[in-house]
Amino acid sequence: MAVSERIRRSAVALLAQWADRPVRWPCRKRFLSGDAPGTIGTCGAEASADDGGWHALGIDTDVTPSTAAGPEPRADRARLDRPRPDAVDTTRRRGRMTPAKHATIARLAPTLGLDADDGGPWRDRLVAAFGRDAPRLLDVGVGAADATIAWALAHPDQDVVAVEVHRPSLAAAFAAVEAAGVDNLRIVEADVRRVLADLEPGDVTAVRVLFPDPWPKARHHKRRLVGAEFVARVADVVPPGGWLHVATDWPDYAGAVRAAIAAEPRLEVVADPGPLVERPVTVYERRGLDAGRPPVDVVARRRA
């Protein structure tokens, strides 16, 4: 097979994977006619060589993903061992998933994990998972779970629900929880905003977010997790006396969190949080300290 023919077929297969419809090729006729500055029109499958389009090259425009994209993805992989469509892609895709990490998730998720897609009230599912109806703490973005495990061990009379969307960290968290032998901790692979949307008032008594992605560039601030909408949803979920704890090493992010709390009448900032902020130094906190950014802890309590 000629090299040009192999290149042409590879291009057809690649483009077919990116579309949910037959490939529609750029039309040279419309391009030369200048329909709009800087744009290239498309020819329908009915276009021909007489139109001046690229169909003169003999390219089959009826190629679809089912014929050109190759074999279907493997269907035997566990549901918790594949990317979640609701996850934040820019976070989930960082890092490398090795076969060992896939195996760790597949082995430990059934016993140490909770599936966000199981359905039913979260309270009932948590009671079934922990075997008791104790106060519950929600830890967001737990990484390798060092601080989460310490939180669970410090509060054996409460249950900790850890939410993580980054898959390499998820594998590390499962392995760490197994090694620590903690039985009052379960891990959920999901975007925490989805979990909060499904929780009912009183399902958790506290929400903790340690060093969320700061998105330091001003044009990216809208991507930050903790804002007015997040704070309002936490106020919906935690009971009177419940609390929200956010730690960050970016002063402007801490200021934005304080402003969001001040705008929420059901929450008030705790001036002296004391033991509420006790935790081991996390990996991200250490990086901030090494860069000369001390951590700032913002704690708010739900008004009665």
Q: Which residues are catalytic?
A: 213
Radius of gyration of the chain (CA): 25
Strands 159-164 and 185-189 turn out to be parallel
Residue 299 · residue 270 · CB < 8 Å: yes
Q: Are 154 and 185 in contact (CB under 8 A)?
A: no
* Cα–Cα dist 138/208, whole Å: 6
Cα 116 to Cα 72, 291, 294: the distances in Å are 26, 36, 35
Instruction: Let me know: does 285 contact 248? Beta carbons within 8 Å.
Output: no
Other CB atoms within a 10 A radius of the CB of residue 69 amount to 17
Q: Which of 53, 62, 59, 68 is nearest to 18 (CA)?
A: 68
Would you tell me the crossing angle of helices 167-180 and 146-154 to the nearest 10 degrees? 40
Question: Which residue, chain included where needed, has tokens 């490398």?
Answer: 96
Starting from the edge strand earliest in sequence, which strands make up the sheet with 267-269, in order? 113-114, 185-189, 159-164, 136-140, 206-210, 243-248, 296-302, 267-269
Please report, for residues 67, 77, 268, the alpha-carbon distance to residue 72 in angstroms, rounded to integers and kept in the order given: 10, 13, 53
- Token pair of 130, please? 């922990």
First to last CA, the chain: 76
